[in-house]
Amino acid sequence: MSNESGGIHWHQQSVSREERERLGGHRGCVVWLTGLSGSGKSTIANLLDHRMHSLGVRSFVLDGDNVRHGLNAPPSVLAPQHGEEFAKRFGLGFSAMDREENIRRIGAVAELLVEAGLVTITAFVSPYRRDRDAIRQRLRPGAFIEVFVDTPLAICETRDPKGLYKQARAGQIKGMTGIDDPYEAPDRPELVLAGGVKDAATLAQEIVDYLRNAEVILPEVR
């Protein structure tokens, strides 16, 4: 047995995804919100989650900042408890490679939640097209719903909820998406939201309408 593989095998669940979906009355999927920092992704995601809950749809939000507190914590968060060597090896910063791993891990978590029959809502800048496409390829057809929150950079900068754009413009931080690091908009997203034009509640409702039309939300729970 290879020490590298560790004898890892996939164990089939005794309760299938289809059985879980029948119990819930809706299909499992990932609603992947992508867009610049300050585009409104987290606000829309939480409004959508609230509406799903009110409809009796089992949903959960994976938010970019929240997962950085634990699963994908940066070295500075891990070091006090685990030490510098551990933090350097397993902590994630914001380099292109670290961002790739951040999205890979989230994709793996989202895939598990979809198998549990949940509508999994993610809110990540996820700037690189290939990383988002890699998650799409891991899921069943129709289970990855890419939602581009298309808010102009100028509007995102006026919001600047974390002060990151201001710091980037002043040269205090590097690798800021949209400033000195690229954002690759989706080629063929399932849905484009006009961020900065419509309010967040309206945009969340557009996603609800899409999920109904795509029969993620089944007729009996409408």
**Of all helices (H) and strands (E), which one includes residue 73?**
none
CATH assignment of 25-221?
3.40.50.300
Cite the beta strand spans of the chain per DSSP E: 29-34, 59-63, 119-123, 144-149, 191-193
Lowest mean per-residue pLDDT among 21-25, 70-74, 131-135: 21-25
What are the beta bridge partners of residue 198?
Answer: 195
pLDDT tens digits, 112-154: 999 999 999 999 999 999 999 999 999 999 999 999 999 999 9
Q: Which residues form the catalytic set?
A: 126
For residue 151, report the phi and psi dihedrals to the nearest 5 degrees.
-105, 125
pLDDT tens digits, 151-168: 999 999 999 988 999 999
What is the dihedral angle through the alpha carbons of 99, 105, 110, 112, rounded to the nearest 10 degrees? Answer: 170
- Residue 12: pLDDT above 80? no
- Residue 66: pLDDT above 70? yes
